[in-house]
Structure 1
Amino acid sequence: MIEVIAKLPRGHIYLSGESLECHVTFAHLPSPTSAVAQSHEDAFESLAWASAQIHCYCFADSKVTRVADADKLSPYPGTALGPSTNENAKVVVSTKPKILFCDLRLSPGQTKTCTIDYIQFSCTYCSNYCVLVTYVEHIPNDSPPSYRGQLVKYSYKITVGTQRVNSPVRLLRVPIRVLPLCETLLNEAMALCNDTTDELTPTNPFMEVKRKESPLDIALQGLQNITARRNPNYYMITNGRGKVVRFCLFKSAYRLGEDIIGTFDFTVATVSCVQVSVSLQCEEKTTLAGDCNEQKRILTFGNFHEVCLGYDYVQLIVPIPLHVTPEFATKLVGLSWRLHFEFVTSTNRDIALPKMEDAHWQAPGDVTVETMVWSLPVKLYSTTPNQVAQGVVSHVENKLVIR
């Protein structure tokens, strides 16, 4: 009996363009001491081969057509590591399969040492009759992010396939989450890393050599600069009868896990506002070229509600969850974010508002109101995988038993 264990030492969350590392262990489980003595043929276990690759599956709604033609980002190699027959999905991204080993024999009581000289692979035999292989792969820069929408779903899995001699192929699928990284930032970072100007300047042998930053590190620094920059924007909200409120949003670019903070100023209002509600919404929209039947879905995450009759100022705080997907666009679907406002205003001109000297203010029993809505687009970006992993619980170890 062979046990295959796949473990992600850095967790299951990665950025597009990042390299992931997966430790795959193949162990020959020893037989119990009470078992009947086995023959020499059953004393060892043999595996013909093992390989691994990354797949991105696309699940589309029945109303969304031409999935394969519209969103096929890379050709899918026809290997034994394809999707199982019970999965109604299309493979839109697949990395090249990498061979972990060939003709592996695990025998209890026997100690082996082995080194695989392939690039990005290391293989060591342990004393407990198992072999540990480190699988390293680069996630394509143009791959779509992990996303669970109503029209389209993108799901990533590391597929580890192995086959015992004269037995069917067995697959172990390890789910991972891929966050989108702004393509513009990544392209600029790669251009900076490819710049050879510094290499032509004279070097001082007595100075400490600085580690050259990777394109991913430079892109994350650019992302930090974009989301940390405060640029207050003021919006005067009005209706047909006058000014309702002046709204201030301190910045328009946010990362996962941040709070959207703003203020409502009712001192400039000429119309009484009874209450205000704000919700964080994402708009999922198909982007098929030439498709006249465009599909659109709106999902709401988080809500702010405040009864503001008689208030001069109200502060807005809307947290951004860590499990949502930032803004992205593919050939099949596009995702954008916005703040959706609902203002309930009073049409009564003689409504009595509370004052500071009023010790006992009685709210009016009958108020005629009307509701107005307004949406404000916001930019939502990814954050570091370690920060997302703190708020999302997932298994980093998966197991497959081959009997």
Structure 2
Amino acid sequence: MIEVSAHLTRGLTFLAREVLECSVTFTCSASSTSSVESLAWASAQLHCQCHISGSKVILPKMPADEKSEELEMLQSSVNTSLAPSRGEKGNCILSTEPKILFCDLKLKPGERKTFFYRETIPSDAPPSYRGQAVKYSYKVTIGMQRVNCPIKLLRVPFRVLVLYGLGDTSLLEQDDQAASSNPFLAEERTQNSLLDLAIQVLNTVTSRKRPNSYNIKNSDGSVARFCLFKPAYKLGEDIIGTIEFPAGCTVPCIQYSVVLQSEEHIAEECRRKPHQGVSMSSHGRHQEFCLHMSKSHMVLPIPLHVTPGFITDIVCLKWRLHFEFITAKEPLPDHVIPADQSESALWQGPQNLNVDTLVWNLPIKILPTNPMHASTSTTLVTKTPAAVTV
């Protein structure tokens, strides 16, 4: 009896174009009755499964030539000895070439051998995503077989983040100029790894402070002024903004709330219904009473487990801040402040108010973060255990 276990050496989250490394250990049981246990072969590969909701999504029809090519590939995968996506839900939309770990492995009781599987995640891979209509999930599949025995599969799930514009060197020109002007740096500069370049791009884009102010109005007049300090954020960051109610605002605001929402847009050719709406998901809420306040601020943390904005042939994910302002339709009595500090006064609000609701949406950009940081909150659940027995 041989026990096979596998784990990813650097965590569960990776960027597209990164190299994934998985260690696979084969251990022969010390209580084995045979003097030597053997395996005929073992191989490993990556694959991505796309699962769609049939009530919301319909896959577009392919041309006849592409359909025949896909049918030939499907038939060839069925006839081969290893089908990594066999038994998985959805369609396999991405699969790397299988790599042989070994052939004819022999182990004595108590002996153990470890093999390392390395593969580059394709640059055109979609990100891991669990939406209401579309799901993308990734796994490393290790297949193994004894002679004249059925194949056994071991699957290890992992998460993929996609950073668009990673190859755009113009984003790094500002940092390069600052580095070249520093006389204490050596002239020879080593080439950074993909992860270092990605972190540098993320820090450059998300550190740019560009405050934008928005005047919020309804049909009765001005309600508030909102200021957002930057337009792009990383996973795990806090979205911080200020809401001011200056003296020029003619509409009293009683309460406001801000919700971080994701918008799941299905491509027109993939919609089950022609007038199908956008699916919304909320990921945090800030609410505060603001009557007689001149200024307030909101803080919304971005969870590490959510998916940054992306686009594929089927779905497009966008992010926004959803505001709701509860305003009074009639002027409210002023709060009288005593002139003498030794005196005190109690303001009693009206029991009934005639209110109105103002809704406003502000698009924002959410980018990935350091994948090693994102791995701390990644919880991947799989029905297949981390080890199998052959």
Given the two structures, how large is their TM-score scaled by the length of structure 1?
A: 0.82
1:392 shift after superposition: 3.5
The separation in 2 between residues aligned to 1:159 and 1:68, in whole angstroms, is: 29
Q: How does 1:64-75 map to 2 (within 5 A)?
A: 64-66=57-59, 69=62
- 1:28 — aligned with what? 28
Q: Which residue of 1 aligns with 2:229?
A: 250
For residues 192-220 of structure 1, the C-alpha deviation after alignment (integer angstroms, 9 at most, x for no partner) is 9xxxxxxxxxxxxxx88542123443233
Task: Give, as a single letter, the amino acid of the residue that structure 2 aligns with 1:14.
Answer: F
Q: Is residue 278 of structure 2 the alignment partner of residue 296 of structure 1?
A: yes
Q: In structure 1, what is the equivalent of residue 51 of structure 2?
A: 59
CA distance change for structure 1 residues 146 and 346 in 2, over 3 Å: closer, same or farther? same
Are 2:311 and 1:329 equivalent residues in the alignment?
yes
Matched, 1:378 2:364: yes
**Counterpart code for 1:400:** A
Contact 1:9 1:23 in 2 (8 A): yes
What is the one-letter code of the residue matched to 1:4? V
Once the two structures are TM-superposed, the CA of residue 265 in structure 1 deviates from its matched residue by 0.7
Task: Please list, as runs of the form range in 1=range in 2, the aligned pairs for 1:187-206 lying within 5 A after superposition.
Answer: 187-189=167-169
Partner in structure 2 of residue 278 of structure 1: 258
Question: Per-residue displacement from partner, 1:324-349 (whole Å, max 9, x unpaired)?
Answer: 00000000100000000001000112
SS in 2 for 1:219: helix
2:179 aligned partner: none
2:141 maps to 159
Equivalent of 2:289, from 290, 307, 311? 307
- Of 207, 215, 223 in structure 1, the residue corresponding to residue 202 of structure 2 is 223
Distance in 2 between residues matched to 1:130 and 1:214, nearest whole Å: 33
Q: Is the 8 A contact 2:37 2:106 kept in 1?
A: yes
Q: 1:339 to 1:222 in 2, by over 3 A?
A: same
1:289 deviates by 3.8
Q: Whole-Å Cα distance in 2 between the matches of residues 393 and 130 of structure 1?
A: 29
In 1, distance between residues paired with 2:106 and 2:212?
67
Corresponding residue to 2:120 among 125, 128, 138? 138
Distance 1:245 1:191, change over 3 A: closer
Aligned to 1:214: 193
Deviations 1:2-35 (A, max 9, x none): 1101011211111111111111001111107xxx
Give 1:68 deviation, angstroms.
8.3
Cα deviation digits, residues 234-292 of structure 1 (max 9, x gap): 00000111100011001110000000000011013111001001000000011254754
In 2, Cα distance between equivalents of 1:48 and 1:68: 41
Match of 1:275, as an amino acid? Q
Alpha-carbon distance in 2 for matches of 1:236, 1:398 = 54
Q: Give the drift of 1:389.
A: 2.1
Residue deviations 1:330-375, cap 9 Å, x none?
Answer: 00100000000001000112x1243554631112111110001010
Match of 1:365 among 339, 347, 351: 351
Instruction: Flag the 1:393–1:333 CA change in 2: closer, same or farther, 3 A.
Output: closer
Q: TM-score with structure 2 length normalisation?
A: 0.85
- Distance in 2, matches of 1:289 and 1:190, equals 35
Select the residue among 64, 69, 84 that pairs with 1:82: 84
Give 1:61's aligned amino acid.
S
Residue aligned with 2:386, SS: strand
Contiguous gaps of at least 5 residues in structure 2 = 173-185, 339-343
- Indicate conservation of the 8 Å contact 2:60/2:269, yes or no: no
Give the fraction of aligned pairs with identical amino acids, expressed as a percent. 46
Change (3 A) 1:129 1:212: same
Unpaired runs of 5+ residues, structure 1, are 33-37, 109-127, 193-206
1:251 is aligned with what amino acid? K
Aligned counterparts of 2:226 and 2:387: Cα–Cα separation in 1: 55
Measured in 1, the distance between the counterparts of 2:188 and 2:61 equals 48
Contact 2:16 / 2:125 at 8 angstroms: preserved in 1? Answer: yes
CA 180–290 in structure 1, closer or farther in 2 if over 3 Å, else same: closer
Q: Which whole-Å CA distance do the structure 2 matches of 1:361 and 1:66 have between them?
A: 61
1:352 is matched with 333
Write the distance in 1 (CA, Å) between the matches of 2:47 and 2:286.
39
Query: In structure 2, do the counterparts of structure 1 residues 49 and 356 end up closer, same or farther at CA, with 3 Å as the change threshold?
Result: farther
Give the corresponding residue for 1:390: 376
Q: 1:43 aligns with which of 35, 39, 55?
A: 35
Give 3-state SS (helix, strand or coil) of 1:261's partner: strand
Secondary structure, counterpart of 2:168 in structure 1: helix
Q: Would the aligned equivalents of 2:57 and 2:270 in 1 still touch at CA under 8 Å?
A: no
Q: Flag the 1:208–1:398 CA change in 2: closer, same or farther, 3 A.
A: farther
Letter of the 1:11 partner, please give it.
Answer: G
Give yes or no for contact 2:59–2:270 (8 Å, CA) kept in 1.
no
* 2:12 and 2:378 in contact (8 A); partners too: no
Q: CA distance change for structure 1 residues 191 and 252 in 2, over 3 Å: closer, same or farther?
A: closer
Superposition CA RMSD, Å: 2.6
Report the Cα distance in structure 2 between the residues aligned to 1:353 and 1:340, rounded to whole angstroms.
Answer: 30
Query: How do 1:171-182 and structure 2 match up within 5 A?
Result: 171-182=153-164
Structure 1 partner of 2:389: 402
Distance 1:189 1:133, change over 3 A: farther
